[in-house]
Amino acid sequence: MGWASGSSLAGELWGAVRPLIAKDKRKKAAGKIIDLFEDYDCDTMYEVEPLIKDAGRESEYYGDGDFEE
């Protein structure tokens, strides 16, 4: 069972704290937030693109971007 509003909460949280985190620390912080939310059964993190991008996990959530139709 997923946590439907988890990604919205994660996005709001990241939007609030991101400006306070040094650029060289954002990848680690974003990754930690993703891991914590997923540990609590949030399975919609792919909806939070800024968080995914800052964590450097685009390929994990969106593939390699080379999709065949």
In a domain, 47, yes or no: yes
pLDDT tens per residue, range 22-46: 999 999 999 999 999 999 988 889 9
Direct distance between the N- and C-terminal alpha carbons of the chain, in angstroms, rounded to an integer: 30
In a domain, 30, yes or no: yes
Domain limits at 11? 6-62
The residue with tokens 């909460």 is 9
Closest Cα to residue 17, out of 5, 32, 6?
Answer: 32
State how far the Cα of 54 lies from the Cα of 52, in Å rounded to an integer. Answer: 6
Domain count for the chain: 1
Q: How confident is the model at residue 65 (pLDDT cuts 50, 70, 90)?
A: low
In a domain, 69, yes or no: no
Instruction: Determine the pLDDT at residue 2.
Output: 57
In a domain, 31, yes or no: yes
In a domain, 15, yes or no: yes
**CB neighbour class for 41 (10 Å; exposed up to 12, middle 13-18, buried from 19):** exposed
Instruction: Determine the pLDDT at residue 38.
Output: 92
The pTM assigned to this predicted structure is 0.84
In a domain, 68, yes or no: no
